[in-house]
């Protein structure tokens, strides 16, 4: 009999997983969110399959999993897994790429529109002490959608969903993604650009939807951000380390960027002492009023999406571990 370990105890029971995985699989659980290293050796030794949600799986922990054959990352990103070490052990790695597509796309648009319509700005000013005058504020943040280019970095499932939403709001949508075949732009009725520099130079709103890889880590540093048009807005619902916070802070402080919306940070959860930009945001420093929105990596979340994670993770584990299919397998050589 095969054994699958869900280490965090995410759900009240394992009935759904057991139903999907079938009678030939036993589902066992750990006791919480303390990390893989805190799991008892006895549980690790039994696992043929392993679900990973919030935990990290470093290579140093793999000797504790002598039977491990499949790891399913319960989400899109797989940077929490030591994939070279897993590949060396012959362990198959999978993800769940489609559980929160609509939620993250909605969240990215909500951040962009909240900034570009001045909602966060006027919200902050109207609850100030004393409250601001009862009138609109002239600011580079607020611009008509149809006068702006909405740039998308990475046109996967979520990037595509954002493109369709931005187009519906009247933005002129363009994207850069070197991994897509020709014709995607024509199918969606949006414009493709061939380089990151070309995308940055034209994006009044930049929304990030690329995975975190060795090529994208630190991709948007200060030099890159300064290629954006004066008064641009940046939204990141992808992975925190793609966007350099030092560069973002510098470009916000000197006014090169009008605003930013961040659902992800380079360090999550942020530890004290937090980055100076986050410290200024928390302190409600006047120079950041209405210009920075931070949400706690919550873009994916609805009750429906959380249920999708559970079901789709179990289905992927069944397909790969039990039925030996190739569902959602991440190739070892993939970035």
Q: Is 122 a catalytic residue?
A: no
Q: Which of the residues 83, 116, 176, 239 is marked catalytic?
A: 239
226 belongs to the catalytic site: no
Selecting among 19, 268, 285, 307, the annotated active-site residue is: 268
Length of the chain: 335
Q: Tell me, yes or no, if 268 is annotated catalytic.
A: yes
- Write down the catalytic residue from 172, 297, 301, 311: 297
Q: Are 209 and 237 in contact (CB under 8 A)?
A: yes
Catalytic residues: 239, 268, 297
């Amino acid at each position: 009999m095969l054994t699958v370990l869900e280490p965090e105890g995410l759900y009240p029971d394992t009935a759904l997983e057991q139903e999907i995985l079938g009678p030939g699989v036993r589902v066992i659980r750990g006791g919480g969110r303390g990390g893989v290293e805190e799991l008892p050796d006895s549980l690790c030794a039994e696992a043929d399959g392993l679900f990973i949600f919030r935990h990290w799986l470093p290579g140093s922990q793999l000797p504790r999993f002598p039977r491990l054959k499949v790891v399913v990352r319960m989400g899109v990103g797989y940077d929490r897994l030591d994939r070279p070490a897993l590949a060396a052990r012959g362990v198959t790695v999978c993800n769940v790429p489609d559980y929160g597509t609509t939620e993250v796309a909605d969240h990215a648009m909500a951040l962009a529109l909240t900034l570009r319509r001045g909602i966060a700005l006027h919200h902050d000013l109207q609850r100030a002490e004393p409250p601001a005058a009862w009138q609109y504020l002239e600011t580079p943040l607020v611009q008509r959608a149809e006068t702006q280019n909405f740039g998308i970095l990475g046109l996967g499932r979520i990037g595509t969903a954002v493109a369709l939403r931005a187009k519906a709001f009247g933005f002129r949508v363009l994207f850069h993604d070197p991994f897509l075949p020709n014709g995607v732009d024509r199918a969606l009725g949006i414009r493709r650009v061939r380089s990151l520099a070309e995308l940055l130079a034209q994006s009044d709103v930049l929304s990030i939807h690329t995975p975190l890889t060795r090529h994208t880590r630190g991709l948007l540093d200060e030099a890159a951000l300064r290629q954006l048009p004066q008064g641009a807005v940046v939204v990141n619902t992808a992975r925190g380390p793609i966007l350099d916070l030092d560069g973002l802070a510098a470009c916000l402080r000197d006014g090169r960027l009008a605003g930013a919306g961040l659902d992800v940070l380079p360090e999550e959860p942020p530890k004290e002492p937090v980055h100076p930009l986050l410290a200024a945001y928390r302190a409600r420093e006047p120079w950041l009023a209405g210009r920075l929105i931070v949400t706690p990596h919550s873009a994916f979340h609805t009750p429906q999406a959380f249920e999708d994670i559970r079901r789709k993770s179990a289905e992927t584990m069944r397909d790969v571990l039990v039925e030996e299919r190739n569902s959602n397998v991440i190739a070892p050589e993939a970035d």
